[in-house]
Each structure stands twice: as C-alpha cells, then as structure tokens.
Amino acid sequence: MAARAPARRQARRLTSVTPIELKRRHLPGPAGAAEPPLVLVHGIFGMGNNFATVGRKLAARREVVLVDLRNHGGSPWHDDASFEAMRADMEGVLESIGRPVSLCGHSLGGKVAMLTALQRPDLVARLCVADIAPVRYEMEANRAIIEALLAVPETALGDRKEVDSALAASETAIAQGGGGLGNPFVRGFLLQSLQPETRSWRLNLRALLGSYEALRGFPAPAGSRAEMPALFIGGANGGMLQPKHLPACEALFPNARLEMVATGHFVHSEAPATFVELVDRFCADG
C-alpha cells in the first residue's frame, strides 16, 4: 500500500485553486548574507515596484524580492481573485526561494501574507504587516474606486492627464474628498497602473470587483495560529490598523507586536525612512 502524502500537501492537491507564476523582481543583498530573504507584497491596485525605493534600502543587509499579486502589475490575470488563490500563488513564490523568508505585506498584500504564514508557517520565519488587520472591513471606498476606474472612457486611457482629470471630476472623488479619489496622491498611485500605449490598466478590475465582498474579510482557518515573530505597523493618522485591532492580531499571531507611525494608510510611502528602520531592525532581530 502506498504511503499517504502529508496532510498539508494532500490539502493543496485537493483545492480547486490553480496557482499562477507571479512576476517578481529580485534586489540582491550582500554576497553571503546570512539573513533570510525579505519578500515585499503590495496592496490592492498596486505592484511590486511600489516598494522599489524602500526595497533598495532594505537590500543593504539581505536579498529583497518584490512580488506582483495576480491581476496586478506584470503578473497574469485570472478570474479567480480570491484570497485562497493569492495565497496559493504566494506559497509557490516562497517554495521557489528554497528557505524560510521574512514576509512583509501592505494592505491586501498584508492579508495574503498573514494567510500564507498561518497555512505554511514552515515557509515564513518572520511576518511583517503594514496597515491592515486580520478582520473584516465594512468600508466601500475601494469598490467605488474600482467602479470609477471602469467608468473612465477607453478613449481617455491614452493620456494620463485626461484620466487624472476624469477621476478628479468623478462622483466618487467628490464623495470621498481628500481621503480617497479626491486626493492627488491616491490618483497618482492609481495612475502607476495605467498603460497609455495600450489604453488599458495593469489591473484586472472586473476580477477585483467580482471578489470585492470576499476581500473585505479575512478567512482565517478555524483554530489557526502561527508562532513566528510578527510586526504590525499601523498608520496613526486614519490608517486601517489601529490599537483596537491588536487583540485580533494576537489571537492568530501570539508573538505579535504593534508599532504606530504618524502616517495614513500608505506607511511605506508616507514615512519611508521610518518604515525601513522598523522593518530592517525587525528582520535583523533574530
């Protein structure tokens, strides 16, 4: 009788998810660096290059890998934009590295990182999560942004200024004001995913819209916990991770600690030096 496969592998084979190979960018660290590689995972509407500036600084002591999630940046598109699909993709990235990593994700990427750490703790030596908690968020802001991006006429997509003007004048921008699409910083972030030459977005907006309800939550497996060191970094000025979320973080990651930074949601962009200092010290701690 053939030996039974380990439960984790068996579970992976039984899932209906089809993992895809993600685009990644490697920033080499010092030759012979002893520290585990650091994998940085962007948030919704982003791409790995959002971390390029802080990634280069963090590569001073270890290899850094910037990853594009499915339906974002240079990674393939797929109708399945579920957490389980993104977690399966991330598992493939980490397995290809060949040793446990420090895994750091922002926003949506933080949720993917947490799920990966919970289900494959053997692949994650340290976990860092930027401005997101393992909870359900009721906000509708990102759904409205997806709908606003879909509403931009294709004829306008060939000109960044025209797209920016269309977004700034949209009902969503008026409703969200300075905290959302009405903020030039937010629009500039979104415009990084515009491809004027093909009049298209690097974002699979319809897949993200179809999965939006599920992406607001956090599907932690029942009874799951992961014991690796975990650093949570929150934006004190209206970010999505606040001190009230720490108990939820500790329930899944008992070795979690929280650092609050004087920023909004985009901690790594708004306070890059502070973000680098916190992550660098955390990754080197061990």
Quick: pLDDT tens for 113-153. 999 999 999 999 999 999 999 999 998 999 999 999 999 99
Task: With beta carbons less than 8 A apart as the criterion, state whether 176 and 221 touch.
Answer: no
Confidence at residue 177, expressed as pLDDT on a 0 to 100 scale: 80
Q: Return left, alpha or beta for 73; rule: phi > 0 is left, psi -120 to 50 is alpha, else beta.
A: left
Quick: pLDDT tens for 55-100. 999 999 999 999 999 999 999 999 999 999 999 999 999 999 999 9
Confidence at residue 114, expressed as pLDDT on a 0 to 100 scale: 99
Confidence at residue 5, expressed as pLDDT on a 0 to 100 scale: 36
Quick: pLDDT tens for 246-284. 999 999 999 999 999 999 999 999 999 999 999 999 999
Q: What is the spatial distance between Cα 154 and Cα 166, in angstroms, rounded to a whole number?
A: 12
CATH code of domain 22-137+217-284: 3.40.50.1820
Quick: pLDDT tens for 159-183. 999 999 999 999 999 888 877 899 9
Give yes or no for residue 13 having a pLDDT over 50.
no
Question: 179 versus 28: which is more confidently predicted?
Answer: 28
Confidence at residue 31, expressed as pLDDT on a 0 to 100 scale: 92
Task: With beta carbons less than 8 A apart as the criterion, state whether 42 and 48 touch.
Answer: yes
| Beta-bridge partner residues of 96 | none
> In whole angstroms, how large is the CA radius of gyration of the chain?
19
Confidence at residue 15, expressed as pLDDT on a 0 to 100 scale: 55
For residues 221-233, give the mean pLDDT: 97
- Roughly how many angstroms between the first and final C-alpha of the chain, as a whole number? 44
For residue 122, count other CB atoms closer than 10 A to its CB: 10
Domain with CATH 3.40.50.1820 in the chain: 22-137+217-284
Give yes or no for residue 8 having a pLDDT over 50.
no
Give yes or no for residue 29 having a pLDDT over 90.
yes
The secondary structure of the chain, three-state, reads: CCCCCCHHHHHHHHCCCCCCCCCEEEECCCCCCCCCCEEEECCCCCCHHHHHHHHHHHCCCCCEEEECCCCCCCCCCCCCCCHHHHHHHHHHHHHHHCCCEEEEEECHHHHHHHHHHHHCHHHEEEEEEECCCCCCCCCCHHHHHHHHHHHCCHHHCCCHHHHHHHHHCCHHHHHHHHHCCCCHHHHHHHHCCEEHHHCEECCCHHHHHHCHHHHCCCCCCCCCCCCCCEEEEEECCCCCCCHHHHHHHHHHCCCEEEEEECCCCCHHHHCHHHHHHHHHHHHHCC
* Paired tokens of 39: 């994998």
pLDDT-derived band at 11 (thresholds 50, 70, 90) equals very low
Confidence at residue 180, expressed as pLDDT on a 0 to 100 scale: 87
Give yes or no for residue 12 having a pLDDT over 80.
no
